[in-house]
């Protein structure tokens, strides 16, 4: 470990001249520490249902098997049945718990049974919306049902053309969906089912009015599935105003996954980039997600790591859609070992086998920290989170 040093800041710190500094409001260092001796691998959940025993179409069961699903996760086990019964559902669960399949399976089944049914799914970021759409394509393969993905950062006129074709699902971000509604390309009266995924994040990002407008414009007799990692007062108000006697499910046992080893690395008499370099040379760091605060800082850090011989890429708001997707693909398929990101990558993304998350710069809030480190320790595996502290 490195001792604390207040006197020196490296080139890539958020204090660098010319960057718009995002000041961390969260400085309780003890919250970053949960050493391996305290990590408890949570007991294996024994579901009360099986995929083969679900009351769904056989064609969908075959696709579930083809995707590789074998055992229902807690949120799937508890949410799919009431969703199949057309009930409103509030699901509170940690990230990486299989929430996407928990809402896609019952809604795809609904549309198979009645092709006049239409579903809209809202997600806070384009990456999450695209990920949901990719999962939909796998589960809906060969079933004669289609989706349109409507997100910012992609040509809107292409999406308008897609909306003129046959589709039962719209999967998108609130801002782009609202834009298409205002252009009269989406008629919300046709949609009797809606999913709000990562609802707390959508509220954090300022989409509350868009969410309310969209739900208010839909038929009163609709089904609403509401997924969130937290249950803030604002989230509770949305639930009270827009959901009908929802089945409330909570499979969240703690703020962070019970199998993420969390620790801090103190900086002393070295530049932060040099300390990071030393860490990354450890062979245990096989697949590493590094978080910074600013777009320019993240890009500079990624370039610096590449110049030092590391296979690195970056994802941030200054990259266009294709560049961001290319970076994510390279990280997922292990073409690059390191992905440097702003918080745009901290929510909802399912990136397999991330061994370590490194907070190169402190998160703004504890909630941001939780969602950053939630990219590791997924699927029952042990992950590690390190926070660099000066």
- Of the chain, the percentage scoring pLDDT greater than 70 comes to 86
Handedness of CA 225, 354, 148, 57 (dihedral sign): negative
Per-residue pLDDT tens for 85-103?
A: 999 999 998 666 789 999 9
pLDDT band, very low/low/confident/very high, at 381 (cuts 50, 70, 90)? confident
In this prediction, residues 116-126 reach a mean pLDDT of 95
Least confident of 8-12, 107-111, 287-291: 8-12
- Give 174-187 pLDDT, tens digit per residue: 999 999 999 999 99
Residue of 165 and 126 predicted with greater confidence:
165
246 with 226: CB under 8 angstroms? yes
pLDDT of residue 348: 58
Degrees (nearest 5) of the Cα angle 170, 176, 178? 85
Domains 29-41+255-389 and 58-250 share a fold: yes
Residue 370: pLDDT band by 50, 70, 90 thresholds?
confident
Cβ–Cβ contacts within 10 Å for residue 351, how many?
17
Contact 195, 120 (CB under 8 A): yes
Task: Calculate mean pLDDT across residues 181-204.
Answer: 94
Contact 106, 130 (CB under 8 A): no
Task: For residue 63, give both structure tokens.
Answer: 């696709």
pLDDT digits (tens, 9 = 90+) for 232-263: 888 899 999 999 999 999 886 555 566 788 99
Stronger pLDDT, 378 or 323, i.e. the higher one? 323
Q: Of the ranges 208-212, 308-312, 350-354, which one carries the lowest mean pLDDT score?
A: 350-354
Instruction: Return the domain boundaries, the chain.
Output: 29-41+255-389, 58-250
The answer, yes or no, to whether residue 1 has pLDDT greater than 80, is no
Please write the tens of the pLDDT for every residue from 300-349.
999 999 999 999 999 988 888 788 889 989 999 999 999 999 987 656 56
When mean pLDDT is compared across 101-115, 232-246, 358-372, the lowest value belongs to 358-372
Helix axes 233-242, 208-216, angle to 10 degrees: 10
| Angle at CA of residue 314, ends 132 and 307, nearest 5° | 155
Q: What does the pLDDT read at residue 217? A: 96
- At 9 the pLDDT is 34
Mean pLDDT is lowest, of 18-22, 208-212, 270-274, 358-362, for 18-22
Would you give the end-to-end CA distance of the chain in angstroms?
12
Instruction: Order the strands of the 260-266 sheet from edge to edge.
Output: 260-266, 383-389, 356-359, 288-291, 338-341, 312-315
Predicted pLDDT at 29:
73
Rounded Cα gap, residues 57 and 356, in angstroms = 40
pLDDT in tens, 139-176: 999 999 999 999 988 899 999 999 999 999 999 999 99
Domain 58-250 sits in CATH at 3.40.50.300
- Give 92-138 as a DSSP string: E--TTSSHHHHHHHHHHHHHHH-TT--EEEE-SSHHHHHHHHHHHHH
Nearest CA among 306, 356, 293, 319 for reference residue 19? 293
**To the nearest whole number, what is the mean pLDDT of the chain?**
86
Which of 9-18, 211-220, 362-371 is least confident? 9-18
CATH number of 29-41+255-389: 3.40.50.300
pLDDT score at 301: 96
pLDDT grade, residue 22 (50/70/90)? very low
């Amino acid at each position: 470990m490195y001792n604390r040093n207040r006197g020196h800041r490296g080139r890539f710190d958020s204090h660098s001249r010319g960057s718009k500094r995002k000041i961390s409001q969260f400085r309780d260092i003890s919250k970053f520490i949960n050493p391996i001796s305290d990590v408890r691998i949570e007991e294996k959940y024994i579901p009360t249902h099986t995929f083969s025993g679900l009351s769904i179409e056989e064609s969908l069961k075959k696709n579930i098997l083809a995707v590789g699903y074998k055992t229902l996760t807690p949120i799937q086990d508890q949410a799919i049945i009431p969703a199949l019964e057309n009930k409103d559902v509030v699901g509170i669960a940690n990230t990486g718990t299989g929430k996407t399949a928990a809402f896609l399976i019952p809604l795809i089944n609904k549309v198979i049974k009645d092709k006049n049914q239409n579903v809209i799914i809202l997600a806070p970021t384009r990456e999450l919306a695209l990920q949901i759409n990719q999962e939909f394509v796998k589960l809906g393969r060969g079933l004669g049902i289609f989706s349109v993905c409507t997100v910012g950062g992609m040509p809107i006129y292409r999406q308008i053309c897609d909306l003129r074709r046959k589709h039962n699902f719209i999967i998108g971000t609130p801002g782009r969906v609202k834009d298409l509604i205002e252009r009269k390309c989406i008629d919300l009266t046709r949609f009797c089912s809606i999913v709000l995924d990562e609802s707390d994040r959508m509220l954090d990002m300022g989409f509350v009015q868009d969410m309310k407008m969209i739900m208010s414009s839909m038929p009163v007799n609709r089904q609403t599935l509401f997924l969130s990692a937290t249950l803030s007062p604002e989230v509770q108000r949305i639930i009270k105003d827009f959901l009908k006697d929802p089945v409330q499910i909570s499979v969240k046992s703690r703020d962070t996954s019970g199998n993420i080893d969390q620790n801090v690395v103190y900086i002393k008499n070295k530049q932060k980039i040099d300390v990071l370099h030393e860490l990354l040379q450890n062979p245990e760091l096989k697949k590493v997600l590094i978080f910074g605060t600013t777009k320019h800082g993240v890009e500079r850090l990624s370039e610096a790591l590449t110049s030092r011989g590391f296979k690195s890429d970056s994802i941030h708001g200054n990259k266009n859609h294709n560049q961001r997707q290319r970076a994510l693909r390279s990280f997922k398929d292990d073409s690059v070992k390191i992905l440097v990101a702003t918080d745009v990558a901290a929510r909802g993304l399912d990136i397999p086998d991330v061994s370590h998350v490194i907070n190169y710069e402190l998160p703004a809030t504890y909630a941001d920290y939780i969602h950053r480190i939630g990219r590791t320790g997924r699927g029952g595996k042990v992950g590690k989170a390190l926070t660099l502290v000066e």
